[in-house]
Structure 1
Amino acid sequence: MEEEFLRVHPEKLSVRERWSKALLRWDGCAHMKKKKLCRVGVPQSQRKTVWPLLLMTYGWQLEKYGDYHLLMSQQPRDAAMFEIIERDLGRTFPTHRLFNKPGSTGQMGLRSILRAYANLNPETGYVQGMGFLVGTLLIQIGDEESTFSAFVSIMENPRYSMAKLYAPGFPLLFVRLHQLQKLLGRHCKKLLKRLMEYGIELSTFAANWYLTLFAYHFNFGLLSRIWDMFLCEGWKIIHRVAIALLLLHKSALDRARDGAELLIALNTAHEGKDEVEVIRKALSVKFKTADLVRWERKFCQQL
């Protein structure tokens, strides 16, 4: 699997060497240095090492969440939850050779990790879309138990708080969509006006961007680059990529003659995008973390 990825996405020696040096002194490596390296991209051969390190940064402790093997073997509080997980296994990366057959290594890993997490956090349990997060981590990290640790970190670590996106009522998802709307008002004013004119909710085309961190939409080359930055920097890069997609798709969006055509164009905004172009455009989208914090606070006060 890794050999195939490397053949399609060859690494630059200088980048690999820079990462090797950073890994030798990881604990003493400044955050800004890690941030710059992650924006260049983590070499594929080193992601299985770097991603867990990024996820365990910021004082995050996983030990309090219990034993993976015990969690995966427990019976669920809600038996129907495991049936839903089973139903969705074949829908997660169905064309990827790791997941495309019943009983495949990927499907077995998905089943075990999703069951374990449903037992760990029964209030959230399992929600469709989680499998794409687990699948992405499983492809890159490989080891099942390490993948579970990484998934729990993405879900529960306050830096990412993905569990709050999937919690009943999807509370954090609507915060993220509100933040996206504010960013559209800055960077895509004409589009926002048309969305309001046609009554198109952001959730109809952008919900899966946030719920799966683009894993549902992008090839693994671009997806991995986005996750390199997300795991290091947090949510800003997801917003930046969302705005970048809409800016790069502007001509198609402008050609839409009515609400139906506009919605079709929005739902295809991710198609055929060049990896380098998307990353370059995303990093050119400027806003402050303080803006996101302020918008979230005001949104929550209005609830």
Structure 2
Amino acid sequence: MYHTNSKREFSIKFQPQMQILRPSIHSRRANLIVKFQDLYGFAVEGNVDDVNILNEVREKVRQQGRVWWALEASKGANWYLQPQVSSLTEGIALKSSLKLSTLANAITLKRLIRKGIPPVLRPKVWFSLSGAAKKKSTVPESYYNDMTKAVEGKVTAATKQIDHDLPRTFPGHPWLDTQEGHAALRRVLVGYSFRDSDVGYCQGLNYVAALLLLVMKTEEDAFWMLAVLLENVLANDCYTNNLSGCHVEQRVFQDLLVKNCPRIAVHLEELEFDVSLVATEWFLCLFSKSLPSETTLRVWDVLFYEGAKVLFHVALAIFKMKEEELLLAHHVGDVINILQKTTHHLFDPDELLTVAFDKIGSMTTNTLSKQRKKQEPAVMAELDQRLRRLNSIKMDDLDK
């Protein structure tokens, strides 16, 4: 059970392995729908093949967990923070007493994270590697509790929107969609809206903060993860009033799509398809509304370590995986349906991340920064033009 005290924790019970059903006829397998809860309590609906994929993925998670625990045992609880480990390059062996020495000698921290952080270790590893722990250490220990008490009862445009969005955030979830879950999520979101008045609150942050709560277990840790995400990990101004940063990211993504998936880009242009129709939600909610939760969290594993470039890799991978099908689409609605169906059933994060990092061209933080700066003037001019049109409409209404 979750308590209002930010230092208390709530627990999510791990679901037992799902039974693998084996109907004799393939068509029956494909049409047989199974409903169940995933690792973080979300309702999932899929066919028998989806269930089998999830079982295989969870077995991989268990195997990967053994590697992490072995490293913890041999190198210490915070081995991943040691400079000599984090600075290792590809191909340099890790010195350890692991029985799985062949595997251990071939991996680096980056590759380990891309293969997935075990759910039990995820809160600790995220908090350390993202910079959240360092950010929290710069303020008094009572910062979060003092802030939540200080803003309690205050009403702003942000708090009104937060209250409106709470019941719409993952409805039906066994903890988030309860009075207790709403209260915890509200404290995190309202607290941050006062910490950064430029951001305040933006729709999309409710889904991000909700998933952070489920992973981090405490409000305070979820709050600091949200802070480091908005202040250090993501591009500037993604969640400000005019969403200028998000518009810039869309322009950059469009350019990357042309470069990495030229056939798709040409076809989508012919259909007059705007990538923002799907990518806006991907970038604002960080895939939390689009991908299954366990796949989303694998993306976030890499996001908190490698930065916002991961979002572009994953977005491009989704298009790349369905290239042939997208090329046969005749309408904008067909494209949206293909992409939504694909994301909702991406139960295998390894499949997605393999495409994202092995079949998509490499991109660096510096390269993305240059592309963002290139797009910023055009985006700001466009937003300014929209604002002028809006003001013009308002003045015309007054004249009537």
TM-score (norm 1): 0.88
Aligned residues: 299
Quote how far apart the aligned CAs of 1:61 are. 5.9
Q: What does 1:173-184 correspond to in 2, within 5 Å?
A: 173-184=246-257
Q: Percent identical across equivalent pairs?
A: 23
Q: Measure how far apart 1:239 and its partner are.
A: 0.8
Q: Is the 8 A contact 2:144 2:220 kept in 1?
A: yes
Task: Mark the CA change 1:295 to 1:216 in structure 2 (over 3 Å): closer, same or farther.
Answer: same
Match of 2:156 in 1: 79
Unaligned runs of 5+ in 2: 1-10, 18-38, 40-57, 89-107, 381-400
Q: Does 1:237 align with 2:322?
A: no
Q: Partner of 1:299 in structure 2?
A: 375
Which segment is superposed worse, 245-254 or 125-134? Answer: 245-254
Q: How far apart are the structure 2 equivalents of 1:94 and 1:166? A: 23
User: RMSD value over aligned CA atoms?
Assistant: 2.5
Alpha-carbon distance in structure 1 between the residues aligned to 2:138 and 2:109: 25
Alignment of 1:155-170 (within 5 A): 155-157=230-232, 159-161=233-235, 164-170=237-243
Task: Show the counterpart of 2:113.
Answer: 38
Residues 1:115 and 2:115 are matched in the alignment: no
**Match among 39, 60, 78 for residue 24 of structure 1:** 78
Change (3 A) 1:62 1:280: same
SS at match of 2:120: helix
Q: 1:259 to 1:224 in 2, by over 3 A?
A: closer
Corresponding position: 1:134 with 2:204: no
State the 1:63 CA deviation.
Answer: 3.0
Q: Which residue of 2 aligns with 1:202?
A: 275
Q: Is the counterpart of residue 279 in structure 1 residue 289 in structure 2?
A: no
**8 Å Cα contact 2:117/2:298 also seen in 1:** yes
Corresponding position: 1:185 with 2:238: no
The equivalent of 1:92 in structure 2 is 169
How far is the alpha carbon of 1:22 from its aligned partner? 6.4
Residues 301 and 87 (structure 1 numbering): CA distance in 2 closer, same or farther, change over 3 Å? closer
Deviation at residue 291 of structure 1 after TM alignment: 3.1
1:255 is displaced (CA, Å) by 2.6
* C-alpha separation in 1, matches of 2:76 and 2:126: 13
Shift of 1:83: 2.2
Quote the offset at 1:117 in angstroms.
0.7
Provide Cα deviations, 1:151-196, integer angstroms capped at 9, x if missing partner.
1111112x324x6211121121122112211111122212212222
Structure 1: how far apart are the matches of 2:72 and 2:377? 43
Q: Structure 1: state its 5+ residue gaps.
A: none
* Residues 63-113 of structure 1: CA deviation (Å, up to 9, x unaligned): 359922232231587533222211211221223222122x13x22210100
Stretch moving more, 212-221 or 9-18 = 9-18
Q: How far 1:6 moved relative to its partner?
A: 8.0
Q: CA deviation at 1:275?
A: 2.1
TM-score by length of 2: 0.68
Q: Distance in 2 between matches of 1:265 and 1:142?
A: 35
Shift in alpha-carbon separation, 1:14–1:118, aligned structure 2, 3 A: same
**Displacement of 1:40 after TM fit?**
1.6
Checking the alignment, whether the CA contact within 8 Å between 2:126 and 2:301 is kept in structure 1 is: yes
1:269–1:62 CA distance, 2 compared to 1 (3 A): farther
Q: Which has the higher contact order (CA 8 A, sep 6+)?
A: 1
Say whether the 8 Å CA contact 2:113–2:301 is kept in structure 1.
yes
Which residue number corresponds to residue 217 of structure 1? Answer: 290
Name the SS for the 1:127 alignment partner.
coil
